A and B are shown apart, each in its own frame.
Chain A
Amino acid sequence: MIGFFKGRKQEEPIDIRNRFNWIDELENQKLDLSSQDFEARLTEIKSVHPFLKSEDGQRLIQSLYDDMIGIGFPEESIKIELDLLSEIFSLKTLDLMFFNPSNGLGNSFHEGQFQDLVEVDQSYSYLVVPKGLILVVGSSNTILPVITSIVLSYICGNVTVCQLSKLNGGVISKFIDGIPSQCSAYTHYIGLDHADPVDVGILKQALIEVPWNVINVWGGEDANNFYFRNVAKNPARPRVLNMEPLTGIVIIQKSYLQNNQKKVSAELARSICEMGQQLCSSPTEGYIVDDCDSDDEVDAFFTDLIDDLERRFVDFENFETSYFKLDRMLTFAQDHQSRVHLSKKYGNKISVIQSKDQSVFEHLDDTQSVSIHERRNFLELIRVGSFASLLGLIRRVGQKHTHREIKKVQTILVFGDQGFNTEVLRLAKKVGAYRVVDSRYIFERHPLEALDGSHLINEFTYHLSVIGSVPYQQPG
């Protein structure tokens, strides 16, 4: 009979405030930040770069490295991320990002000084003002994009809340808490678990009830669906800034290739190898546009490319069943008259497919295709007879099972002469690509460039228009 008369456990109603007591402070923090000086925050963040070079900074970086190794991140990718982390905070990068003539703050930098009120003409001026409250949703596999969002959001004058994966959330907060900045005071973490129904309830409540100004989602199909669906019910109508999985392609002019074989091979190999081909900019499909009269094949180029890929090979990890699927893809390609070039040294961990006219994988079903998320050092190069056929091929990139979840082409890597490259630029406009680059910028981001078409600083601020003939001073 024991327990028979025991009352039912009272279930706590779902309330985000019960879990996160700082929720009610967010409005005050917004006011607090808006009364602070933008330039002071920028100067403060500029001090992070020398700090990271100091002993304390190096200890922090080492500690992040250890944590990430413990989580199971591939060693190579950790090194790359942590190197870039330091780079983001360099004075040059920060100045270029913030006083970028191609974004909204460029005009605020006047004669070496930052000025709030930018006078465009006698009757029109504007202030660049923080949007207020930013929710950053991070993915579990990288730290860099989320840290960039947090820091830029802070410099812009926003309060930032981060929904991070349990996997790497601790690494990100450790970094923000460890740098010499007030950023951590204005950054909060929710770390709710998508697998826990109570947490999901709280997250939904947060998305619907908290008056976010911007929700910056770094994630795949499922994450974006979840956030878009729930944010739609938020009466504050937050702007959703989603960074989805994209891919890169490479377009090569055959005559240029014939004259620059070694260079193209080396640079293309580098573009594929960096970060295990997992960057949205890494080429995962390519085209050799045949602009020559001769029927010469470019077989030697494929040999060079495999050699260069072998030289740069980093064994990120083994995933056994994916290799079976990969082998099935490769034999499918063989069976459909594509040529398969493999590494003698690393087997199908390096695979280059040589196809003609169209991707051999267009008719491959999902049971047989290893998506670009699951494979490394894999490129299909398709020889096409005319430039005109590229438009259709590129439009179909994301429709293949090999490119599932890929929304569009982000980066076009181009190897050609000036006339050819100009054609590629016109094509990029038609397919809605975000970047046309040389091989250096597969890996690197130019501090002035937009991120998938958006400048984060623009997204985290807005222009307060000052119109008419009433005189003002710099508000300070």
Chain B
Amino acid sequence: MAGPFSGYGIESDLRIENSPTSTDPYYQELSDVLSSGNILETYSFEDTTKLQQRLLYPYLEYFIRNDNNNYYKNLFYNRGIAKNKKGELKSDLQLHDLIKLRTHSDDLRGDGQKDRLVKHAVGSDSGMFFKSSGTTVGTTGPVDVFRSNLTLSLSRLTNGNLIDWSIGKKIDHGECLFHMAPEMTDFLAFAAIGSDFLRHRGLDVSFGAKVNSGPADTTIWQRIGPDIGEMRKFFSSPSDTKYFIASGVGLYKMFMEPVGLRKFAMKLMLNAPPVYLGKDGVLMIGGGLKRLPEEITSLSQVVQATGENIIAGDNRNGDPAPVIDMLGLTESINVFIGVPTSPFSDEPWVKYPHPLTYVALLNSPNDLTPVENPEPGKEYLLFYVNLMTLDYVEAIVPGDFVLASEAKGTITTALGDRNVAQPGFIYSRRAEQNEGFKIREGCG
């Protein structure tokens, strides 16, 4: 019961000084990079590439130094990164060589991450396990990823950078409501990391859902229900900076699905819609299309339908609150963040990585070659490496297709202009489940 949210969530004091890895030179180097201000606001594409190139060898050497059971020494040799199994790296490595170290999300299901963990993370109780929702069809259980306190401490900084950059100012006050239950901060990465960061910055964090009691054989997802009191409290707060953090399905269930009497009852219970977020309020969404009905084919449908009812202001005359969509993956310590957008905008929702996340767009599932100059609007496969994940090599092919976006050094958002440190992408879709044509059964 050490977590700050009714006993749940990432503990406030990460005690990183207790971790022997906190003296590792690579950790020190990352700390230096992150203490020099928000690099998203200042770095050009070139600066980001230079930084990533500069970190490439220190990053790989970190894993050799902290290897457990020679896993990385063998891996680097077998994948053509090292000259031998002693951990001597080849001398001409480039960033695109990181694809050789790829892990597919499915590799992280069950005990998949276990062998990949470095010394400080093996059997450690200084950290947390995060699990995916397990909604991907045709897989064997959820993705299960351990994050050490050390990595979580860096995540506070990097995800903080991302949100500050997106909002356009350093977030240090206000209120936020996660449309999820506090229990979820114990295993759901987006809930845990988001709530941890906002609490760490001094915001009041509340939760708009609770886990009801139910039969033992039911899952938490089946027992989750609204926490009317918390939602009502948040909606009626006079604060001028409120962040409402919800999933697409949460918004849908609250503001689109109820009709007639149910809509009336909802209004009576919540005193909403409309929801007033104060003049600096923002709606943050994530989770994609998970659990939404079939007729909803994009999240923009949901925010357009709810836009008039979620207002940046304290009365009907306010503008619709800007929306920031985030792509959060259990197997990524950092989110890929969107920028504030009008809910009625037709602009594509571009997601941007932190400069410490190396992103490459790959040709196709059968040709995992990083594409040098991705064509804007064309579909590619996403690959990323989180250079600040210190527990295992987080070089992931998550199985998501994205569209390359135009590489612009500056963009205009609903809350002003933004420097862009690394090209973004537009989420397109999950890979299709298709086992193909089989004739062997009838071959004879």
Contact = CB atoms under 8 A, between A and B. Distances in A.
Contact of B440 (A278, A316, A318, A348): A278
Given A73-B437, A334-B78, A323 B442 contact: no
Interface in A313-367: 316-328, 331, 334-337, 346-349, 367
27 contacts: A77-B437, A142-B439, A145-B444, A218-B441, A218-B442, A219-B442, A220-B440, A246-B440, A319-B434, A319-B435, A320-B365, A320-B431, A320-B432, A320-B433, A320-B434, A321-B138, A321-B365, A321-B431, A322-B435, A324-B431, A334-B79, A347-B369, A349-B366, A367-B106, A367-B139, A373-B440, A374-B438
B289 interface: no
A223 interface: yes
Contacts of A247: 440
A331 B439 contact: no
Interface string A276-316: 10111100000000000000000000000000000000001
B241 to A, nearest CB: 42
Interface in B379-405: 397, 399
A324 B397 contact: yes
Interface of A: 73-74, 77, 138-142, 145-146, 218-220, 223, 243-247, 275-276, 278-281, 316-328, 331, 334-337, 346-349, 367-368, 372-374, 451-452
B434 A331 contact: no
B257 interface: no
A452 B444 CA distance: 6
B439 A77 contact: yes
> Which bucket holds chain B's interface residue count?
35 or more
B75 interface: yes
B351 interface: no
B328 to A, nearest CB: 20
Contacts of A318: 365-366, 434
Query: Which of A220, A322, A337: most chain B CB closer than 10 A?
Result: A322
7 pairs of A and B residues whose beta carbons are closest in the complex: A139-B442, A347-B367, A323-B365, A243-B444, A320-B431, A280-B443, A319-B434
B441 A223 contact: yes
Contact of B442 (A141, A316, A319, A327): A141
Nearest to A334: B78
A138 B442 contact: yes
Nearest to A149: B444
B86 interface: no
Nearest to A317: B436
Nearest to B433: A321
Query: Which of A276, A279, A320, A367: most chain B CB closer than 10 A?
Result: A320
Nearest to A454: B444
Contacts of B367: 346-348
A285 to B, nearest CB: 14
Query: Which of B363, B399, B441: most chain A CB closer than 10 A?
Result: B441
Query: Which of A140, A141, A326, A372: most chain B CB closer than 10 A?
Result: A141
B308 to A, nearest CB: 38
B364 interface: yes
